[in-house]
Structure 1
Amino acid sequence: MTSVKEFRIEREPTATTLGRGAFVFTDDYSVFDWGKMPDEIPDKGASLCSMGAHNFELLEDEGVPTHYRGVVDSGTGEVVPLADAEDAPTEMAIDLTQVPDLPREGRNYDYDAFHAEAADNYLIPLEVVFRNSVPVGSSLRRRTNPADHGLDFEEWPEGAVQLEEPIVEFSTKYEESDRYLTRSEADRIAGIADIEELEAVAREVNRIVTDRAAEAELVHEDGKIECLYFDGEIRVGDVVGTFDENRFTFHGQQVSKEFIRQYHKRTQPEWVEAVGAAKQEAKAQDVADWKSLCEESPEPLDEGVVGAAQDLYAAGTNAYVGRELFDAPSLVDAVDAVRNL
């Protein structure tokens, strides 16, 4: 189980065969790696499932292999394309790959043991991040210089930087605290999966999602993919191009989970600061479980904020998918409501 979706197994994968299963999307949300937050956002699960399904079908149409099999129709229980689902679905049928244990001592993870068990059928233990812009506050500004990416700046400018070519990075997936990797580190962690092919797949996914977003008047700022390796082929896994995995803007306003992050920074700064301090302390102590060191817990959102978030997810999904899946205000109205919070 993840923090916002449940995982159901129908048939276990083996070293040589894929299994069958499903993601069941909940209305939970998570920010700052906290896991399940105190609130639920109605319609959020159906929103993420619908956007993810739409994107997987776009990828398949463009020849990008994925683990997607369809959505589960709530009325019949059958696996169907999104267009054939009577209502906004909350369940996505997928192929399953092996996910070996990743042993660790403190913050040292044994990827050799992971791959010894993985054989040729496994979930690649990386997240591949793509960026079409570098906004103020991006971690990229703290970790790198513009010249590292071929940009003609001595220092990062004060405003957001729009990129002519996307920047692709690799980070860990199964470590307690995510960390960005050098190319050689990512290559080692990927195992027999080719790091160049992983990057090429990420760039193609980014192109497809960016083009679809533009048709809905959304700007695709950044996102990530996770992939599996099976039968010598890299396939896109997890969920792609949703308001949780990616950042989108509409007329300059965030239409993604990012607005909730920023709201917590403004209204619960003590908790946000405590999370950052706990992560630093865990690193100093060489322990993985940073959350046990956090001295604060998040408070529930105001009811009006929950309603605004619900409308934003629903209206954004209607616009992106091009179908009125939800009874929601226009995206313009939903964005205006969030802008005024």
Structure 2
Amino acid sequence: MTSVKEFVIEEPATPERTGRGRFAFTDDYSVFDWGKMPDPIPGKGASLCAMGAANFELLEAEGVPTHYRGVVSEGEVVTLDEADAPPREMAIDLSRVPDLPHEGRTYDYTVFHREAGENYVVPLEIVFRNTVPVGSSLRGRADPSDFDLEFDDWPDEAVDLPEAVVEFSTKFEESDRYLSREEADRIAGAADIETLEETARTVNRLVTERADDAGLEHEDGKIECIYVDGEVRVADVVGTFDENRFSYDGQQVSKEVVRQYHKREQPEWVAAVDEAKQRAKAEDVADWRELCEREPEPLPEGVVGAMSDLYCGGANAYLGRDLFDAPPLAEAVERVRDL
């Protein structure tokens, strides 16, 4: 199980073939890599499932291979258009995840790929950025001059990049870290790093075009992939309000809203998370959570309701379909502006 969706195996993958399974999306959310937070957000899981399905179907129509098989409606695997109600389950092909042994924060990818063969989940996240919004980790790792921007320091507002930037980070390590291209190439194994980047840029383009049609700005996001018989296929979920950052009329329409809320309203917990991550790095401890001395507090009821409307109203706008009982996106956005 991940922190926000359950992973159901129906037929396990083998070294020779993919398996079959499902994602069951929950209404849980996670920020700062914490895992399951105290409050569910009603409708969130179904909104992510529907947006992810729409994007997978868009990718398949463009000839981009994926692990998507359809959404589950009344026990049947169907297309999103054939689902009469918001779906909460997605049918997928499964690949293998070999063990990744480690000592402290040192991981042995040689062992991983020795077992991986030609059918495995690529142990990378491929991140693409069209803008550098407030809160983006890129602000702490690069200067504006690195992207030919005409100012010395990052301003207190989103910055458009001249062209999309693609980065690579780890997927299966306890604390994710960004990688040089050379290290990412090594960790990817048999999966070609150029193909991974090209696939990410294609996904970015298609999601950006879909967002434009809905009046949304697509700021950044990521993909994960599987490698099967020499082919890179897009996996996990793409183009949702959890995997990607979108904005509408200058307001975030994504998990970033609640992330920034926690920074303002629970700064002690956020600081404790940062401190635990730094301690774990200094002490060569893989799981930083065991070092964190605070727990997050529940959200106020009004914040939960506003986030529910944002997820569901935003999904309706992105899909171009009133699949959810939710206010229009403009109304949902106004409700969260002052959170």
In the superposition, the TM-score normalised over structure 1's length comes to 0.97
Query: 2:86·2:323 contact (CA, 8 Å) conserved in 1?
Result: yes
SS in 1 for 2:219: strand
CA offsets 1:104-143 (integer angstroms, 9 cap, x no match):
0000000000000000100000000000001234221221
User: What is the correspondence of 1:174-253 to structure 2 with a 5 Å cutoff?
Assistant: 174-253=172-251
Q: What is the root-mean-square deviation of aligned Cα atoms in Å?
A: 1.1
- Against the structure 1 CA distance between its residues 158 and 327, is the aligned structure 2 distance closer, same or farther, given a 3 Å change threshold? closer
SS in 2 for 1:220: strand
- Are 2:278 and 1:274 equivalent residues in the alignment? no
- Against the structure 1 CA distance between its residues 43 and 101, is the aligned structure 2 distance closer, same or farther, given a 3 Å change threshold? same
The equivalent position to 2:125 in structure 1, one of 106, 127, 137, is 127
The equivalent position to 2:285 in structure 1, one of 276, 284, 287, is 287
The amino acid that maps onto 1:305 is V
2:78 match: 80
CA-CA distance at 1:157 after TM superposition: 4.6
The amino acid that maps onto 2:224 is E
**What is the percentage of aligned positions where both structures have the same residue?**
71
Whole-angstrom CA distance in 2 between matches of 1:159 and 1:10: 46
User: What is the correspondence of 1:1-341 to structure 2 with a 5 Å cutoff?
Assistant: 1-73=1-73, 75=74, 77-151=75-149, 153-157=151-155, 159-341=157-339
In the superposition, the TM-score normalised over structure 2's length comes to 0.98
CA offsets 1:19-76 (integer angstroms, 9 cap, x no match):
0000000011000000000100111110000000000000001111000000000x3x
CA-CA distance at 1:148 after TM superposition: 3.4
Whole-angstrom CA distance in 2 between matches of 1:202 and 1:229: 14
Whole-angstrom CA distance in 1 between matches of 2:32 and 2:135: 14
SS in 2 for 1:259: helix
Whole-angstrom CA distance in 2 between matches of 1:209 and 1:319: 13
SS in 1 for 2:178: coil
Uncovered stretches (5+) of structure 1, i.e. residues with no partner: none
The amino acid that maps onto 1:71 is V
SS in 1 for 2:296: coil
CA-CA distance at 1:151 after TM superposition: 4.3
The amino acid that maps onto 1:44 is K
CA offsets 1:139-194 (integer angstroms, 9 cap, x no match):
21221233434545555455432012100000000111110000000000000110
SS in 2 for 1:165: strand
- Against the structure 1 CA distance between its residues 152 and 298, is the aligned structure 2 distance closer, same or farther, given a 3 Å change threshold? same
CA offsets 1:77-112 (integer angstroms, 9 cap, x no match):
110000001100000000000111110000000000
The amino acid that maps onto 2:47 is S
Uncovered stretches (5+) of structure 2, i.e. residues with no partner: none
The amino acid that maps onto 2:255 is K
Query: 2:48·2:241 contact (CA, 8 Å) conserved in 1?
Result: yes
The amino acid that maps onto 1:90 is R
Whole-angstrom CA distance in 1 between matches of 2:156 and 2:334: 25
Query: 2:8·2:22 contact (CA, 8 Å) conserved in 1?
Result: yes
SS in 2 for 1:226: strand
CA-CA distance at 1:312 after TM superposition: 0.5
SS in 2 for 1:58: helix
